Structure 1
Amino acid sequence: MNPPIFTKPLQICVVVDDIDGYMKTYTDDYGIGPWAIFEFNPDTITDMTIRGEKVDYAMTLAVCDFYGIQWELIQPRDDHNLYTEFLKEHGPGLHHVAFAADNHNKVVKWMAERGNRSLQGGNLQGNVYTYLDTVKDLGFITEIYNTPKNFVHPGPDRTYPPQDDKATAFSWDKNAF
């Protein structure tokens, strides 16, 4: 048995077609929340790629902590990303699971050698994220990060439920995106 290449589960992501409706259901019906909501696009994310090609895309994402695992909802805002492809093929549902990895670049290289190519990525103020095609091996896409030690997570654009003090609405796990 090989040692694990991932060191900790960090996040479960569901791609949705109505982020506000899903946040309301998760919060009001299931008690999952509160949510920190971010608008990511070429103004906030650099080095965006899809299957190795530079492609700009936009999304709204919402995150919350649920018993030590980050829960993420993503709604695409254009047709130039994996999320829109996923919605067209599957409808809303589980898209990826994010894991911590000791060495981002080593994992990306190892995955490529296995035929598990990089599907999508970008850079949020120095925090690089990469989606890896692990569907044939694991049944889902895997996301990993290369987060610098001095990285400061941005504050949310809004929250759900709405809160006057957005800074206290959500606290980032130091290992999570």
Structure 2
Amino acid sequence: MQKPIFKNLLQVGIVVDDLDKYLKKYYDEYGIGPWVILDFNKDTVKNMTIKGKRVDYAMRLATCDFNGIQWELIQPLDDKCVYYDFLKTNGPGIHHVALGIDNYDDVVKFLADKGIHELQGGNYMGLQYTYFDLTDELALIGEIYNGEVVMPEDAPTYPPKC
């Protein structure tokens, strides 16, 4: 039996068509939050790629801790990112899960050896993130990280800080 390549579940990524509407619903009606809101675009993310090619894309997202698992709501802001295609095809819903790993390069090589290559990626404030289409293998889109992200102290929140 293969040693597990993935260690644990880190995040559930949900694509939405209106981030503000969903933030209010999650927090005000279901008590899930508070949320930190971030803009990912060519000014905040370095080395943006889609299927291995350099492409600038934009999205607005919010994250919160929900019992030790990060929840992420993502609103695409253009038609270039994988979230736009997902939203157009499926409507709002669960897009991906982020999985913990021991070694980023080892996992990338393991997947490449299976013929699975990057779907989308970038580097946000020192955190390299990469999505892989594992639909044929595991029936999911998986995301892995290399590094740690430090949330900007001045990032907007929902509910807003007083």
TM-score class normalised by the smaller sequence: over 0.9
Q: How does 1:121-140 map to 2 (within 5 A)?
A: 121-140=121-140
Moved more, 151-160 or 43-52: 151-160
2:76 matched residue in structure 1: 76
Over the aligned positions, Cα root-mean-square deviation in angstroms equals 1.3
1:160 matched residue in structure 2: 158
Say which SS state the counterpart of residue 89 (structure 1) adopts.
Answer: helix
Q: Structure 1 137/34 Cα, relative in aligned 2: closer, same or farther at 3 Å?
A: same
* 1:153, distance to aligned residue in structure 2 (A): 3.4
Q: Which runs of 5+ in 2 are unaligned?
A: none
Residue 130 of structure 1 aligns with an amino acid whose one-letter code is: T
For the residues of structure 2 that align with 1:126 and 1:136, how far apart are their CA atoms? 30
* 1:127, distance to aligned residue in structure 2 (A): 1.3
TM-score, normalised relative to structure 1: 0.87
For the residues of structure 1 that align with 2:153 and 2:10, how far apart are their CA atoms? 19
> Residue 39 of structure 1 contacts residue 157 of structure 1 at CA under 8 Å; is this kept in 2?
no
For the residues of structure 2 that align with 1:141 and 1:156, how far apart are their CA atoms? 31
> Residue 35 of structure 1 contacts residue 159 of structure 1 at CA under 8 Å; is this kept in 2?
yes
Residue 76 of structure 2 aligns with an amino acid whose one-letter code is: P
Cα deviation 1:123-161 (Å, max 9, x = unaligned): 11221110011111222110000006xx63333531111
Q: Structure 1 163/153 Cα, relative in aligned 2: closer, same or farther at 3 Å?
A: closer
For the residues of structure 2 that align with 1:129 and 1:40, how far apart are their CA atoms? 12
For the residues of structure 2 that align with 1:35 and 1:152, how far apart are their CA atoms? 15
Residue 159 of structure 1 aligns with an amino acid whose one-letter code is: T
Q: Structure 1 156/97 Cα, relative in aligned 2: closer, same or farther at 3 Å?
A: farther
Q: How many equivalent residue pairs?
A: 162
For the residues of structure 2 that align with 1:87 and 1:63, how far apart are their CA atoms? 19
For the residues of structure 1 that align with 2:159 and 2:10, how far apart are their CA atoms? 23
Cα deviation 1:65-105 (Å, max 9, x = unaligned): 00000000000111110000101111111100001111111
Q: Which runs of 5+ in 1 are unaligned?
A: 165-177
For the residues of structure 2 that align with 1:127 and 1:74, how far apart are their CA atoms? 17
The 4+ residue runs of structure 1 with deviation greater than 2 A are 151-157
Residue 159 of structure 2 aligns with an amino acid whose one-letter code is: P
